[in-house]
Amino acid sequence: MPDRLKMQDPRTLYPGPPFPEQPQPMPGLARKMDPVPDHGEESYRGSGKLEGRKALITGGDSGIGRAVAIAFAREGADVAISYLPDEEADAKQVIALIEAEGRKALALPGDITDESWCREMVEKAVSGLGGLDILVINAARQQFRETIDELSTEDFDRTMKTNLYALHWITKAAVPHLPAGASVITTASIQAYQPSAILLDYATTKAGIVAYTKALAKQLIKKGIRANAVAPGPFWTALQPSGGQPDEKVENFGKDSDFGRPGQPVELAPVYVLLASQEASFINGEVYGVTGGKGIA
């Protein structure tokens, strides 16, 4: 049994701050982080909960998306991941991990702020996987700005298009392909409920994702499709050192959680597996907070 699955104190299960200084250019690579995040490469074990399913995950190269891709493959699903071309090095690792489970893996590099690419990406996923019944909208842009004066229209527009517009474009393209029993999962954030002053645009999009998902759930359940959101707190991903937080905050990232450390991506994966699986057959329009004790109220 992997050490992570043995009963132990959750406060010391993974490294805590202080972390070394490690600034990266956006979008950031997981392999360059110290410590390297645990996405479940060695520790996640599946049990066939998604046998035969076909999933598209945006932002599947690193962080939460990577952990979800690994978990889905080990639960028996074929998986397509989308990512930026600059993230190819991390994405290749994920593709190899999916294929190592004997599952079909599909790499879809491109920029989801381009509406035409969003439509093309969905079509390629459907064609390459032979269908689609799990959609995970996870890719996000987070770049801190200390004051509203520093938040340019270009910044605001890019964040909105990455986090909200792409959500709409991809979902709209995917819905006609989703059968009854399918699942849509979005990634919100504790920032939707407890916004940080330096994440004005990011927090706004995450609140929008909550509202969008709840409204979408009411529409899609009429087709037998469920839609839910996951709202993480501080998780150790490449989003943070690549401009998502100031360097000094990265050094102490997760210190104020109840655990005294940030969460690792693998600790979120089981929530996505649940929401994607038939075991969640009566779960719809919900927001699952995984915030290290901070709550989402």
* The two structure tokens encoding residue 71: 């978990």
Quick check: is 293 in a domain?
no
Quick check: is 116 in a domain?
yes
Q: Tell me the CATH number at 274.
A: 3.40.50.720
The total number of structural domains that make up the chain: 1
Quick check: is 246 in a domain?
yes
What is the predicted pLDDT for the residue at 244? 93
Active site includes 165? Answer: no
Quick check: is 173 in a domain?
yes
Could you report the per-residue pLDDT of 94-127, keeping only the tens digit for each?
A: 999 999 999 999 999 999 999 999 999 999 999 9
Q: Which of 129, 47, 43, 42 is nearest to 80 (CA)?
A: 129
**Catalytic, out of 202, 212, 272, 288:** 202
What is the predicted pLDDT for the residue at 85? 96
Q: By the 8 A CB rule, do 56 and 272 touch? A: no
Domain limits for position 215 = 50-284
Distance CA 263, CA 290 (A): 9
Amino acid making up residue 209: I
Cα-to-chain-centroid distance, residue 235: 11
Q: By the 8 A CB rule, do 79 and 128 touch? A: no
* The two structure tokens encoding residue 296: 């989402």
The parts of the chain modelled with pLDDT lower than 70 are 1
Quick check: is 28 in a domain?
no
Quick check: is 119 in a domain?
yes
Distance CA 20, CA 33 (A): 9
Q: By the 8 A CB rule, do 231 and 192 touch? A: yes
Quick check: is 210 in a domain?
yes
What is the predicted pLDDT for the residue at 3? 74
Quick check: is 56 in a domain?
yes
